[in-house]
Every structure is written in C-alpha cells, then in structure tokens.
Structure 1
Amino acid sequence: MGSRIMTMKRQAAELGRIRTGYSRPHRDPNKRPVPVKSTTFVFSSHSRDYVAAAAELWGGEVEEWTPQNQRIAQFRVISKAKEIRAILPAGDPLSQSYEMWSGGGCARRCDGEFEQKSRQSCLCLAQFGPDWHLRSPREVCRPTSRINVMLPELPDLGVWRLESKSYYAADAMAGGVDTVLQATEGKSMMPVRMWIEQRTRVADGETKNFPVVMVVPSLPKLRHALTGPLSTAAALDPSSLDRAAIEAPRPDYAAEARQCATVEAAREVWHRANRAGHVARDGSDPLSQELRQIADDIAKGVDTSTGVVTGGEESGPDEEGVYDAEFVEEPPTSVDWPAVAQPGSGARA
C-alpha cells in the first residue's frame, strides 16, 4: 500500500451541491437576482452528466447556470423531489460554524465562543449581546452548516454537499447527524432520508417561515439504527436487515439448556431467548415450558441429555456386611424459576 501525507485531509471528491433555494432575475436588470426558497431540492454541478442523472431520477429541467459572484458556468436542476434517500459516509460528515463573508472571502469563522481568524472571543456576542443572531446578516455572522452525503442512485464515487445558512435548521441538522454518530460511532456508513420541512416561528408578534432540512436514519426498525456500525451492504440495501432476521434460523435453545450443568445456566438460556423475542415475557409459550422442565430436571440431578438420574451406582456392603451411612434429602419438586418465566405473571424481562 502506498504512503500518505498525514497532515492532509483525505476527502472524497465533491461531485456537486444540493441546495434548498435558488435565485431568479430581478425585474430591474440593474439589481441583484432575487433569492427564492425552494420547496424541493436543487442539484448543481460542473458536470452536466451528474445533473442530467438527477433530473432523470427526480424530475426537472437541466439548465446552464452561473452562481452569484462567480464567472464559471455550471449546470443545475430544480427537481420535483421533496425527499431523497442518501448515505452518510463514515466519520463526521457535518461541519458547522458562524461565518461572515466579504468580497475577499471568509472574514470570520467562529464556533460561538471563539473566533478563529482573530483568535478572540465571539465578536458578535461582544458587540451585540446574547440576541446578536436576531440582527441582520449584514451585521453579524451567519450559522453555516455543510453536510456531505453520497447519492447511491447517481453516477460515480464521491459526495454531494448540502449547505444551509438557517439558524434554526442548524440545530435540527446537528441533532439528526449526532443520532447517527452515536449509533455507528462514525465507523460505518448510514442510510438516511432527507427532506425539506417548512416550519413557522412566532416571536415578538412576528411570524417567520423557514425551511429545515431533516436528516434521519432510513432503516426498517429503530433498533437497526442503534445496534452499532452497519455493513456496506446493509447501508446500500437497508431492507436486507429485516430479511436477514427472517431468514436466520432460530437457535435450538432447548438443546443448549440440556447441556447446562446448573439451573442458573439454564435460566440464562431462557433470558437470551427472551431478549431475542423467541419466548413470551410471561413464560406461557411451549419453549418456556420446555426450558422450565429442563431446569427442574437439572435441579433433581437428572442428566438432561440422557434422562438418567446422576450420582453413580449404589455402593454395596463392606467385608463385614455393613453399608455406609447416607443422609438422603428429598429432591425439590420445582425449580425457583425467575418470575419473568412464570406463566401468567406478566413481568418484564
């Protein structure tokens, strides 16, 4: 394997951008274009092929387009898709900061406490106080969220970047991504659903409408999202998780219990079957009854693999015809089985 420069970021190729807005020409040709909030996703790229593939999948017309303050033309499509399926790559795909841009590029980049370029405490907070984020974007930094996702239905290997400058959307997006990272520990990919949700906020008698990009795991059941890293195959085809569970044979819990030497070990077999959903919580199902009987037999000294009472052959008299003294206790008639397995108890495991 080749070597790497350790101080460089090993980023996947960026194939295009996913946007939640676009601009239309102003009626007055001397004025700047008018920004428009989109209810559907907008895809843009330097490659016409990528945009054409997105248009074929999600609708819309491919058009040549030049972003504001740029000279190089790109291609874009205002799709008809309000929701798309994507894959979050391994690692942390979300980058957030408060930023202020000017004609010379990024003038400020802050994490809310420390401004990186000036190496000072948050400049907006110092100048305008705790409610600084309510001021005009021309005066203060704007929250900027960038998230990289893979679109498995489009050509080539790489990521598409979605960028949002919404204050309220930043919190919702971070919450969704952090849920994924908590489940996978950043060690695997995660299939997600993304959609544009229109929200309303009323403050100081003023109503504001704003879009929020929701990012949530796209799996058959919640437990699939919380069981740890996923395989690449599962990330590409989440439905395989349910199929695997259906096709997997059920362990032979009764056979396992018969190999146990103690009642406690047999009880643990029942608990494992319960956690896997193969026995009822109240212990009223046939498998629970069978496991209870096996535990009873173990307590009575029965070899559950043969059905023979253990303890060895009865010893005979010695040379003088005397038998060894023996204290005999009557074996228990029933095992003190955990309450969760008692029929009709209804207790939880």
Structure 2
Amino acid sequence: MAGRILNLQRQAAELGRLRTGWSVPTDKGRNRPVKSETWIVSSHDRTRVQAAADLWGGTVERWSPQGNNPDQWRVITEAQSIEALFPPGDPLSQYNEKWGGGGCERRCDGITEKLSKKPCICLDRHGENWYLLGPTQVCRATSRISVILPDLPGIGVWRAETHGFYAANEWPGVVDMVVSGTGGRGVIPVGMRIEQRQRLAEGKTKKFPVVVVEVRATVRQALTGTIPGSELSPLPPAHLAIEPTGRDYAAEARKAPTADAAVAVYREAEAAGDMTDTLKAELIAIGKEKRAAEKAKAAVRKAPDVKVENAANAADEEPIDAEIVDDDDPEGVWFEIVTEAGERGWNSEHLAGQFAARHGGLSPDSADAPRLRAFLSELRETAA
C-alpha cells in the first residue's frame, strides 16, 4: 500500500442525503415545509436513487433543493424504516446553528460559538429560555448522522439531518454507547425509522415526526462490542481505521523545553481527537512536573542563598505560590486548572461548562490570566 498523509482525517465520500421532508413555494414567495411519513432519498447520481426506488418503492424525479441548481434526483419512498450501518469512527455531529442567506452565521457547542470564538450568543442575548424563540432569531439544534446503505451502489455514506429536539437528545445516547463499546472500529447494523409522535402543549395536541436510530443489538452487546451482524464487514485495516495520528504526545511533552510548550502538546492532542484518559493523566503529570521545576528555579533566582539540592527537591513538594512566576500567562494558568480538574475526574467539556457557568457564559479561551487565576483559587478552596 502506498503512503498516506498521516494527520488527515480519512473521511468517506457523501453519496447523498436521507430526508424527512421537502418544501413547496407559497403565494408570498416563501417556502413552506412539508413533512414526510416515509424516507426521501436524494443524490446527484440517478442510479443510486433508482436503486433506492427499486428497494423501497416510489418514483424517481428530478429535483432542485430549495430551488437551487444544480439539479439532483430524489425518490419519496414508501419505507418508514430502512436498514443501515454505522461507519467506523463517530458518525454523529451536533451543533446549535443559525443559517441565513449567506450561509452558516453561527455554529455553537452550547458554550462557545465556534465561528466568532465568543461565548454562546443566544444565551447571552436572550437568556436561558432562548431556545423558545424562532429560528430567525436564535440557533436551532442541528444533528447530522452519517450511515452506510449497504444495498445501494457506491462506496461512501449517506447523511441524515434533523433539527428536532428529541433526536438531538436521543441520538447521542445511542451513538456514544456503541462507540464506547466498539472503540469506533468496524461497522454496526442499525435501523433508521421515522416515528410519528404527539404531545400536549398549551391545551393543544401537536403531532410531529422523529427520526429514531435503533442499534440491532442488546445493551450488553453494544457495551461489549459484540454486536451480531457487525462481522459482515470486518474491522478495517490499520491504515483505513480512524485511529490516532501516531504521534507520541507524551514523548513530545517530556522533550518540551518549558511547561507552556507541554501545554501546547496537550492542546494539540485534544484538537486532533487523540486524547485518552491515560494520555491525559500522563500529560498532566508531565506538565505539573515541568511547572513545579520552573517555579523551583524561579525561587532559586529570587533567593540565591538557597542550596541547589533544596531547589531540586522542591519539584516534589506543593507548587510554590504563583507570585514567584514573573509572567502569569493564560496558557500556564489554564494548565494548572486542567491539572486540578483532572484530580477531580472532570473532563474538558465539564470543566469549560463550570467556568462558563461562573463567568456569565465566558469561554476559558477568552479569559485573561487574572480571571483564570481566580477560578483556580476557587477550585482549590472548595477542594480543601
């Protein structure tokens, strides 16, 4: 096998979409959404859509999404449920998003708006009940899941997208359980079903469709990675599996000349999706050791009469007060916070949420060193 660019994500091509509705123009020049009780399959390739029609019923027709070009092909099938496969890796992506005529205006993970790098804009402007407002004012929960349709032609994935509240809450529970059990390796048989539900709100009964994802397994099988049918497609070869980049982050952190450089290695591991609990603990320990050593050296500089052997022992003692460090940079303080949080068993998402909750939605990435230092003091006080 020829070489590969090792730090690129290996992503399957998107062959088409699985839809639960379409839109029709109104007299006012706007589009009115129409909900479908059966799956709609669309693609630029007619042969794929025709195969879906042969399998699930319906008539293939030329179609332009939202009236835009180029034309595609679609079929409104007769199937409320279809069989599919989860591809290797994590098939689910979720954000709160707001779209306009110029494209995506906001993409938020609930804490940080990714495009502007600011705290959640909807929460900041409209308060905790922002989600009750309309889509022209605030973001909508957007969930996208990629699946393989093994009986249709082409090698790649099909994307289903929903803005529903229930799917946004239910899909992660299913996907995370499977990914946890399988390690994101291999393919998993699932069912994709459009389920009609209703609820009583303000004295009125409202009916709505929900896309339900059902893993063809028991909970025990999902958690242990022994799902029947997954053997139909064996685990992918090592060069195709979605695996860490192969970097030895721990070795890089040990060779880092400063604690700040070790912090940078830690963040690179997180950004690449290579962080594991074991690696996290190791990087935190390395960073803590480097930070303590730097403080010990600073103490020696401020007190020349201190013996060198005492300074060496200082690395094994409690961290010296921060006032000894001349440059209290945000990166360094944040690494101390991560260390403190790691000892409590907090993950990065929980830690960022705790910080934002105590600082009016402010993201740690946007905070200055004094504010981070105050937060660190709070953590240490509560732990005492």
TM-score w.r.t. the length of structure 1 is 0.63
Structure 1 unaligned regions, length at least 5 = 238-349
Indicate how the Cα distance of structure 1 residues 39 and 205 shifts in structure 2: closer, same or farther if over 3 A, else same.
same
Equivalents in 1 of 2:125, 2:37: separation in Å?
35
Equivalents in 2 of 1:35, 1:45: separation in Å?
20
Q: CA deviation at 1:69?
A: 5.4
Q: Is the 8 A contact 2:186 2:233 kept in 1?
A: no
Equivalents in 1 of 2:146, 2:4: separation in Å?
23
The superposition leaves residues 52-72 of structure 1 with CA deviations (integer Å, 9 ceiling, x where unpaired) of 000000001100000115221
Q: Give the match's secondary structure for 2:168.
A: helix
Equivalents in 1 of 2:224, 2:39: separation in Å?
31
Alignment of 1:133-282 (within 5 A): 133-219=131-217, 222-228=219-225, 234-235=231-232
Counterpart of 1:12 in structure 2 is: 12
Q: CA deviation at 1:34?
A: 2.2
Equivalents in 2 of 1:233, 1:203: separation in Å?
41
1:38 correspondence with 2:17: no
Q: 2:82 aligns with which of 74, 84, 104?
A: 84
Q: CA deviation at 1:229?
A: 5.5
Equivalents in 2 of 1:98, 1:197: separation in Å?
23
Q: Is the 8 A contact 1:188 1:230 kept in 2?
A: no
The superposition leaves residues 245-271 of structure 1 with CA deviations (integer Å, 9 ceiling, x where unpaired) of xxxxxxxxxxxxxxxxxxxxxxxxxxx
Alignment of 1:54-69 (within 5 A): 54-68=52-66
**Range with bigger deviation, 159-168 or 194-203:** 194-203
Indicate how the Cα distance of structure 1 residues 233 and 130 shifts in structure 2: closer, same or farther if over 3 A, else same.
closer
Q: Give the match's secondary structure for 1:112.
A: coil
Alignment of 1:301-320 (within 5 A): none
Q: CA deviation at 1:13?
A: 1.0
Equivalents in 2 of 1:7, 1:103: separation in Å?
34
Kindly provide the amino acid, as one letter, of the partner of residue 3 in structure 1.
G
The superposition leaves residues 319-349 of structure 1 with CA deviations (integer Å, 9 ceiling, x where unpaired) of xxxxxxxxxxxxxxxxxxxxxxxxxxxxxxx
Name the one with the larger helix percent: 2
Structure 2 unaligned regions, length at least 5 = 235-384
Kindly provide the amino acid, as one letter, of the partner of residue 194 in structure 1.
M
Kindly provide the amino acid, as one letter, of the partner of residue 63 in structure 2.
W
Indicate how the Cα distance of structure 1 residues 186 and 229 shifts in structure 2: closer, same or farther if over 3 A, else same.
farther
Q: Is the 8 A contact 1:188 1:229 kept in 2?
A: no
Equivalents in 2 of 1:232, 1:80: separation in Å?
25
Counterpart of 2:2 in structure 1 is: 2
Kindly provide the amino acid, as one letter, of the partner of residue 182 in structure 1.
S
Counterpart of 1:105 in structure 2 is: 103
Q: CA deviation at 1:206?
A: 4.5
Q: Give the match's secondary structure for 1:68.
A: helix
Kindly provide the amino acid, as one letter, of the partner of residue 147 in structure 1.
I
Q: CA deviation at 1:188?
A: 2.0
Q: Give the match's secondary structure for 2:144.
A: strand
Indicate how the Cα distance of structure 1 residues 232 and 122 shifts in structure 2: closer, same or farther if over 3 A, else same.
same
Q: CA deviation at 1:218?
A: 1.2
Equivalents in 1 of 2:227, 2:67: separation in Å?
42
Q: Is the 8 A contact 2:196 2:210 kept in 1?
A: yes
Rg comparison, structure with higher value: 1
Equivalents in 2 of 1:236, 1:76: separation in Å?
28
